[in-house]
Structure 1
Amino acid sequence: MLGTSLIAAAAVLAAGMTGGAQAPAGRGPLTEMTFAVSPDSVKAGSRITLAGVAGAGSSGNAGVVDLYFRKGENDDYLRIGRLAAGDSGRFGTTMTANASGDYMAVYRGNKQRGTASGSDYVSVYTTRTIKRLVYAWSATNTQCHPVCRTHSPDVTLGTGPVHVSFQRDCGPTRSGGSLGFTDDPWNKHEPGDPGWREFPEGAGPTEFDLAPTAPAGHFYLTWSSVQRERGQATLCNLSYRATQDTTVVTYL
């Protein structure tokens, strides 16, 4: 983020800043400052660079630069350091960022230069990973002979794999099917499609990952079981739960 640039004609006042005295009045050629902090958005504990140039012209600008920080607009600025600007007026340092807020640099001038200041805002954040529920479905005592089918409403996925917990119980009868995620209205898929899992004869894991190629679509489950005896229903208990890891960003 490009910091603000203020000129000496504004007469920088440091009276409201803890650790600083009132800046001297402007004098000599028009004094300017360019100041910026980079990067402008960082993870807590990262290093940031505070740098700028102050004065008038390319030489004769040596002087003291005080650095200040405040977390909120209603907070007082606290002095956090002091630097020396070289003859060219350039100054800079690095420090660790632990909170969002405004950084300000105040150039105190010299016998030929007046005062100037500049400020820049930095966002500081933390991250944590949580499991987001994408979709869940369950049914009990469902007749799956010859076949039962169900699909979810349209959902939008985040990035990364979809973790699925799939439970099925059709008693002692043989059963099998498939479960996947697709944007195809006919639910077509090829063998080995990373967005699908096949369960021949019902065999397969109860916990697995899908890697759909479509960022939006629906889940589709098809399951079938053989008839136990003539006229006797085959009832299944089926359920699945799909989640994704999601990164939550909190600004400090």
Structure 2
Amino acid sequence: MRRSALLTALTVGASLLPGQALPAQAAPAAVKMTFDAAPEPVAKGATLTLTGRVWRAARGNRARVDFYFHANGTPANSYTYQGFATTTDAGTFRRDAIAQTTGTWKAVYAGSTSRRNAARLDAVQVFQRRSREIAGWSHETSSWQSPTLRIPTQDYKAIVSWTCPEEGSPFLYLTWTGQGGGSEYVHGAKPAGTLTLNGHAGARSGFFKVSTSAGCTWRVRVFSGIAAFQV
């Protein structure tokens, strides 16, 4: 085997003219690449689809594409690895991910001896839907009425929490009264707790009223409708 390799080397060397160098290896060829992370914007917890293509010719483009993610508000180069996809012969690729927070996705093709590497970025906004808080109060008085409040939707949620002295018979009432009639309420009869009034008589103006036993402190928060927040 060693003698055969030596003969091969001598043969190659003999075929070169004095001072002639070995032929230079061709430089890797540039590739084309596309990348899209969709949908955008997307709800937190929803499926995000990463698609694209990396190719040089119509066929013969099978390769590996790696995915990375950079969350908004983190150091510029703090990308975390998110998996990979293998392209088709035409160069197309696809991978699903779960949207967690707003940031930038990156698809990376590492290249080969005959093809240059390539990378593409796509920013994605992630949002979360939450109940919209429209009002809130806290007091120590045992009989209180809110200013007139407009409930924008028919269904609303009022959360009341309270703490009362343990002696006696502690209690709390939270009541919503709509202008023109109609009321809804919740009632608690213990020293401390939290109650939720899931009301269905909103979409109009009215007021909340809190009644408690002596010496109680309480807090009311009112929610109506849905708001989207970037996360």
TM-score (norm 1): 0.49
Q: CA deviation at 1:125?
A: 2.5
Report the equivalent of 1:77. 79
**CA shift digits 1:40-88 (9 cap, x unpaired):** 1222221110010012232122212111111136242222212212221
Q: How many residue pairs were aligned? A: 150
Report the equivalent of 1:166. 177
Report the equivalent of 1:7. none
Q: CA deviation at 1:114?
A: 1.8
Whole-angstrom CA distance in 1 between matches of 2:102 and 2:202: 38
Report the equivalent of 2:172. none
Q: CA RMSD in A?
A: 3.4
SS in 2 for 1:57: coil
Q: Which amino acid aligns with 1:78?
A: T
Q: Is 1:248 aligned to 2:227, yes or no?
A: yes
8 Å contact from structure 1 (residues 103, 121) kept in 2: yes
Report the equivalent of 1:209. 201
8 Å contact from structure 2 (residues 131, 223) kept in 1: no
Segments of 5+ residues of structure 1 without an aligned counterpart are 1-25, 139-151, 168-178, 180-196, 198-203, 213-218, 220-238
Q: Which amino acid aligns with 2:207?
A: Y
Q: CA deviation at 1:131?
A: 4.2
Whole-angstrom CA distance in 1 between matches of 2:155 and 2:91: 55
Whole-angstrom CA distance in 2 between matches of 1:162 and 1:71: 35
Whole-angstrom CA distance in 1 between matches of 2:122 and 2:33: 12
Q: CA deviation at 1:33?
A: 0.8
**CA shift digits 1:105-163 (9 cap, x unpaired):** 011233443221111112222222144149x547xxxxxxxxxxxxx9xx8x74x2276
Whole-angstrom CA distance in 2 between matches of 1:47 and 1:247: 21
Mapping for residues 130-141 of structure 1, pairs under 5 Å: 130-133=132-135, 137=147
Mapping for residues 127-206 of structure 1, pairs under 5 Å: 127-133=129-135, 137=147, 158=152, 160-161=153-154, 165-166=176-177, 179=179, 197=180, 205-206=182-183
8 Å contact from structure 1 (residues 63, 110) kept in 2: no
SS in 2 for 1:99: coil
Q: CA deviation at 1:209?
A: 2.0
Segments of 5+ residues of structure 2 without an aligned counterpart are 1-26, 137-145, 157-174, 185-199, 210-221
**CA shift digits 1:221-244 (9 cap, x unpaired):** xxxxxxxxxxxxxxxxxx835966
Whole-angstrom CA distance in 1 between matches of 2:110 and 2:129: 39
**Alignment CA distance shift 1:210-1:130 (3 Å):** closer
- Aligned-pair identity in percent equals 23
